[in-house]
Amino acid sequence: MNTKLNSFVVADPNKCIGCKACELACAVVHADNDGRTVGTVETPIMPRLFLVKTAEVTMPIQCRHCEDAPCANACPVYAINQVDNKILVNDEACVGCKTCMMACPFGAMDLVPKYRDGQVVTQNVLMSETDDGLVEKEVMLAHKCDLCVTQPNGPACIRVCPEKALELIVPKQVKRKRNAEAAINFIDSVKNFFD
């Protein structure tokens, strides 16, 4: 069997200090303007991972790029697909129905406003009631970790973490390492058995 499993990023809660460098790096590399104005009205900070702080743990939560991705299976318009061993959202196909958010067992899916040229894209027909009256409703899109698919050096969150709390898990490499460790342990136990 020659199946290639999806890679994903995992956090070590024993190392994470909650500095949010991962969130900022994520927002910067995904900004339309090369991150020059991230954190402004035109380019708000919209990371694809979420730092969770509780009394017991602090760590980022992000997409695990599941092999049988519940978000993709739940999407009624097939806007979430596996591409090059990553689970990716097609922004042009997404209708913002929130089904993927409900299906994700990790809470790693979010909905965010769609931006074009620094402006929120609005719908032509639907209106939203605000304190200022009726306004055009924002177009919302599914938003999740894409493993920094456009970055040649891999996920930005891993590169910027000052405590090295994040790691890219490549299942094939993990399997090789564990197989080698098992072989060494087996050899040692056989030697001890015959000594």
pLDDT, position 171: 80
Q: What is the C-alpha to C-alpha distance for residues 50 and 59, in angstroms, rounded to an integer? A: 8
Q: pLDDT band at 2, cuts 50/70/90?
A: low
What is 8-111+141-194's CATH number?
Answer: 3.30.70.20
86-93 contact pairs (CB < 8 A, 24+): 86/6, 86/7, 86/146, 86/147, 86/149, 87/6, 87/63, 87/144, 88/146, 88/149, 89/141, 89/142, 89/143, 89/144, 89/146, 91/141
pLDDT, position 116: 82
Among residues 50, 54, 154, 30, the alpha carbon closest in space to that of 106 is found at 50
Q: Can you give the residue ranges of every domain in the chain?
A: 8-111+141-194
- The pLDDT tens digits for 60-100 are 999 999 999 999 999 999 999 999 989 999 999 999 999 99
Q: Looking at the predicted structure, is the pLDDT value of residue 160 above 90?
A: yes
pLDDT, position 32: 67
